[in-house]
Every structure is written in C-alpha cells, then in structure tokens.
Amino acid sequence: MSVVDGVRSPRRDRTLRLVAPVAVGLLGLAVWQLLVGVVGVSAYLLPSPSEIAAEWTANAGPIAEAAWITGVNAVLGLLVGSAVGVALAAVAARLRWIDQMLAPVVAGLAVVPIVALAPVLNSMFGADSEIGRRTIAAIASFVPVFLNTLRGLRQTTPLHRDLMRSYAATGSQTLRTLTLPTAAPYVLTGLRVASSLAVISALVAEYFGGPRGGLGAFISTSAATSAYARAWAYVGASIVLGLGLYLVTVALERLVTRLLTGGAR
Amino acid sequence: MSETINGDGVAVAANGVGKTFDTRSGEVQALTGVDLRVAAGEFVSLIGPSGCGKSTLMRLLADLDSPSEGTIEVFGKTPAQARRDQDYGIAFQQAGLLPWRTVAANIGLPLELHGTDRAARAARVAELAELVGLSDFADRYPDQLSGGMQQRVAIARSLAEQPRLLLMDEPFGALDEMTRERMQAELSRIVGESGAAVVFVTHSIPEAVFLSDRVVVMSPRPGRITGVVDIGIGRDVPRDESLRETTAFFAKVTEVREALHGTPVTASGREGR
C-alpha cells in the first residue's frame, strides 16, 4: 500500500483499517491450508481450514444451538456479575471499611480457578442445571467490573470536588454531574474485559460436567471422538461468540461516550 | 472581634483567624492572627512566598476549610451560609473544567446546578462567553482550547451568577507572561463592569499592583499578614499597558517588594489596628 498522493483521506484510512486485518487473516488461512495440503502436516495434528469449514456447514444447526446455550449463560453471568460489581463498588467507594472488607474477598475471587470451581458448582446445582455455569461466568465478570468501577469512582480530582462544594451542590447533583461521568469510561473498560471473560468461563465450565449442549461440551466431545475438524469448527464458533459480545460492549462504550458529551450541551 | 459588621459595605471580615493542620509530623500552623477586611467592590490581593497561607486564607473565606480559631464573615454571614447562598464566585490556578462538557456547558454549570431554566441559562452563557471573548468557541471542548482560553472559561463560570465577591487563587499562575498580562487587563475590565469585590491570591508583585486597590503582604512560618500596601491607583485609571510604564506603578512595585522582604514600609502593618 504505497502512499501516492502523500495525504490520505479519512475514507481511505477507514477502508485500510478494514481491509488490512482481513488480508492478514486470509493470508494466514492460505498458509495454513498450504501447510496441511502440500507440506503434509497430519490432520490429526492440524485439520485444514477447508475441512473445518466443511464441518461448520455440515453442522450449522447444532453449532448455532450450542452457541446460543453458551451465549445465554455468558450473557446472564455477565449481566449479574456486572450489576453486583457496580453496586458493590459504589458502596465500597463511599464506605472505606466496606472496601477494606471486600478487598481480600475480591482478590480471592480473582484467582479462583474455573477448573476447580466448575465441578463443585455443577454438583451443587445438579447435573441438569445451567446455574453453576452462569455463576462461574458471573464471578469471572464481577472482578474486572468491580475493580474498574471502584477505580473510576475515585478519579474525581480535589479541584473538581472543591468546585462542586463551592456551588453548594447536593450529593446527588455531584454524583450526576461529576462522579458518574468521571467513572463511566472505567466502568465500560471493566465491562469490555468482563465480556471476554464471561464467554471463556461459561465455555470452560462446560468441560466439567453438567448438561451437554453448549460449545464447550461439543468441543470436548468432538475431540474425545477424534473428530478434530468438528472440534475446530466449534472452537471457531466460540471465537465468533466471544468477539460478538466484545463488539456489543465496544458499541455500548461508544454510545455512552456520545451521550455523555452530547447530553451536556 | 467586637466590631459590628454592616452587611452592605463589607464583603469580607476576618478577625484573629488561625488555621492549624494536623499532619503526620505533627501540627502545622498555616495561619495565625489574621485580621482582614475587604470592602464591597474592593480589589484586594494576597501576596507572599509559598507557605505563607494565602491560599489557605482564601479557602477559609470560601468555606472549603474551616478556621481553627477566630471568626470570618462574608457579607455579614458565616462563610458556610455565604457559600450556600452563592454569594461568591471562585476560580483556581487550574481551570478545573469538566472535560466532557462544552465551553458553554462548563460556563453554565453553576446555573444548571441552581435550577436556572434552560432559556435564561443559554442567554446568560452567551453573554458571559461574549464577555470573555469566547463566543466562537462555545461548542468546543476544553481540550481543544489553550491554557489561557480555558482560564477565561473558568473566569466566565465564576461570574455566572453575578456574585458580589470573587475569590481567585492564582488564576493566571500557569500562563505565560504575555497571556498573563492580557488576562490581567481583561480581568480588570470585567471586574470593573461587575462591581464585585475580589480577593486575589498571587505571587507576582506587578500582577498584584496592576490589579489591586490594596495589596496584603503575607509571610510564612507561621502564615500571617505582615503588611498592607495601598496602591492608590484609582478605578478610573484604565488598566492597560501604559499603566505598567508609569513611575507611580514602579513606585508601588518597589513598595510591595520592600514589604515582602521585610523592610518596614507602612507604620501600621496590620489591618484594622
């Protein structure tokens, strides 16, 4: 991509931003296909992209169904975990002792291994319940949302607080005009991180018992029956699901930023 | 402290004010025995080296801190009441604009908080933007403005509710010398039009002399008032570049400098004695 006219127009920049990653992705797939087809890496180690694509089309129905099950678990976990995270962060930002009480609990939650928790929760809620997986997704989402929100709520500067005090602003006015707008970008960053974690943990939790049917369950079943290309197709669907949820949070971030700057006019 | 205060004629009256801060290394006396009166419409600068308590004194007047001893009255009320009644406007060294609000929304912030309706607010904001020469920038965001322009927004904001008292803590401290001199001239004009009393914290001698009716000289450890210089340049004298060249101006600069450096200049150092 040579720069002919020296100055790039914004439109060309945008096209480039879309085209470049797609080109890199296609190139990667081509090299992959070449490795498997020509060099002869065994299908056992690495199925070719064309095989995976064939499995995807052959199993489009079950894949969509599995993605829906895992997706619902991830989204419900994300919503509950984020809501609790924001609420507790609001309390912790206000009361120092709550913060001190929660800090070790949150540090503990942050390092809880899904591998250890999933079987316990699955047997706790019964083998036919999705609640264990949703709980795991919620715990995974809670941590980044809580930490980022708490940080965001503490970002108001002494200068701005003095200013609000000099205006004799009420508590709720200060919250609305200063504290929340300051914290919003941090909350949204937390949500963005949590969205990926929610999908990953909902998926991984399926490896350890509970009802069959989600993406994680199918990945492990396919791999166990040596259907590697199919397992990869489900992995592909998991990536699509994770990216989808991530893009939703990015869109939300843009929306809030626009509301914040536009709404104050 | 025995003086009775006439709410009309006196903007600020401080009697025997002291402030002690508790720090980890023990108590620090930031201010002691401060007596100060500022008449309505009077421009008074507080000048002194770092640590002389000039900013602390201004924070006490604004009820952002409370005195450890002595009393303060603002228009005959407690500072807390004056703050609730919005009797003063305030500006700091940093503009302190809300970055997600436009210039217009920043200027209108106090009006919005105090329930001024949308139409009246828009009219007042337009007037203030005009006053500080930012009419063309009303829709910009703070990060699109220079430091001087941001400070003008902050000054417009402090004037939004037509306060009778302006408290300014080194508002031009972070500006370059040329911008600073221009802003001083503008502030002088704006204050002249509004008729407000001003308590202006600075560490620049020419700035204090150029703007003030009186310059209160302070000294540190502990922070106290050590002298008062009457500038005596009437309000009718235009504050422009030519004033800076006059001998009267130079004489007052010298007088304030001597007061700062401890040479006795006035017989009655303390206010109100």
The more confidently predicted of residues B152 and B273 is: B152
Two tokens, residue B85: 């009644």
Report helix angle A60-94 to A49-58, nearest 10: 90
Task: Determine the pLDDT at residue A159.
Answer: 93
Nearest CA in chain B to A160: B96
Two tokens, residue B99: 């970055």
Nearest CA in chain A to B107: A265
- Yes or no: say if B233 and B249 are a contact pair by the CB < 8 Å rule: yes
Task: Determine the pLDDT at residue A161.
Answer: 93
Q: Mean pLDDT of all residues in chain B? A: 85
Rounded-to-integer distance, Cα B196 and Cα B88, Å = 9
Provide the CA B215 distance to its chain's centre, in angstroms.
12
Residue B3 has pLDDT above 50, yes or no: no
Across the interface, do B64 and A169 touch by the CB < 8 Å criterion? Answer: no
Per mean pLDDT, which range of A6-15, B100-109, B252-261 is the poorest? Answer: A6-15
Residue A47 has pLDDT above 60, yes or no: yes
Residue A145 has pLDDT above 70, yes or no: yes
- What average pLDDT does the segment A181-193 reach? 92
- Yes or no: say if A36 and A229 are a contact pair by the CB < 8 Å rule: no
Rounded-to-integer distance, Cα B35 and Cα B64, Å = 19
Q: How far is CA B44 from CA A84, B38, B97, B254, in A?
A: 53, 7, 25, 18
Provide the CA B90 distance to its chain's centre, in angstroms.
7
* pLDDT tens readout for residues A3-25: 445 556 777 788 888 888 889 99
Q: Mean pLDDT of all residues in chain A? A: 86
Confidence of residue A1 (pLDDT cuts 50, 70, 90): very low
Report helix angle A60-94 to A96-110, nearest 10: 150
- What average pLDDT does the segment A250-259 reach? 86
CA distance between the termini of chain B: 12
Rounded-to-integer distance, Cα A122 and Cα A118, Å = 6
Q: What angle do CA B255, B258, B261 make, to 5 degrees?
A: 155
Task: Determine the pLDDT at residue B265.
Answer: 47
Across the interface, do A168 and B84 touch by the CB < 8 Å criterion? Answer: yes
Task: Determine the pLDDT at residue B7.
Answer: 43
* Overall residue count recorded for chain B in this entry: 273
Residue ranges, CATH 3.40.50.300, chain B: 1-87+164-273
* pLDDT tens readout for residues A221-253: 888 888 888 888 999 999 999 999 999 999 998
Confidence of residue A262 (pLDDT cuts 50, 70, 90): low
Task: Determine the pLDDT at residue A6.
Answer: 52
Per mean pLDDT, which range of B6-10, B70-74, B141-145, B196-200 is the poorest? Answer: B6-10
Residues of B in contact with A160 (CB under 8 A): 96, 98
Query: In CATH, what is the architecture of A48-263?
Result: Orthogonal Bundle (1.10)
| Collapsed DSSP state (helix, strand, coil) of residue A4 | coil
How much of chain B exceeds pLDDT 90, in percent?
33
Q: How far is A255 from chain B (nearest CA, A)?
A: 14
Task: Determine the pLDDT at residue A8.
Answer: 61
Task: Determine the pLDDT at residue B72.
Answer: 92
- What average pLDDT does the segment A161-168 reach? 93
Across the interface, do A166 and B104 touch by the CB < 8 Å criterion? Answer: no
Residue B237 has pLDDT above 60, yes or no: yes
CATH topology of domain B1-87+164-273: Rossmann fold (3.40.50)
* pLDDT tens readout for residues A86-139: 999 988 988 888 888 888 888 888 887 777 888 888 888 877 788 888 999 999
The ipTM, to two decimals, is: 0.84
pTM: 0.76
Q: How far is CA A62 from CA A2, A68, A214, A231, in A?
A: 45, 10, 9, 12
Tell me the residues of B at the A interface, defined by beta carbons under 8 Å apart.
Answer: 62-64, 83-84, 86, 88, 90, 92, 94, 96, 98, 100-102, 104-105, 109-110, 112-114, 139, 141
The more confidently predicted of residues A122 and A192 is: A192
Report helix angle A215-224 to A228-263, nearest 10: 160
Residue B153 has pLDDT above 60, yes or no: yes
Confidence of residue B264 (pLDDT cuts 50, 70, 90): low
- Which of B62, B94, B100 faces A166 most closely, judged by CB atoms? B62
Residue A158 has pLDDT above 60, yes or no: yes
Residue-by-residue DSSP string for A190-244: HHHHHHHHHHHHHHHHTTSSS-S-SHHHHHHHHHHTT-HHHHHHHHHHHHHHHHH
Residue A167 has pLDDT above 70, yes or no: yes
The more confidently predicted of residues A261 and A217 is: A217
Two tokens, residue A209: 């018992």
User: CB-hemisphere CA count at 13 Å for B31?
Assistant: 29
Residue A147 has pLDDT above 60, yes or no: yes
Q: How far is B242 from chain A (nearest CA, A)?
A: 36
- Yes or no: say if B255 and B201 are a contact pair by the CB < 8 Å rule: no
Domain boundaries, chain A: 1-41, 48-263
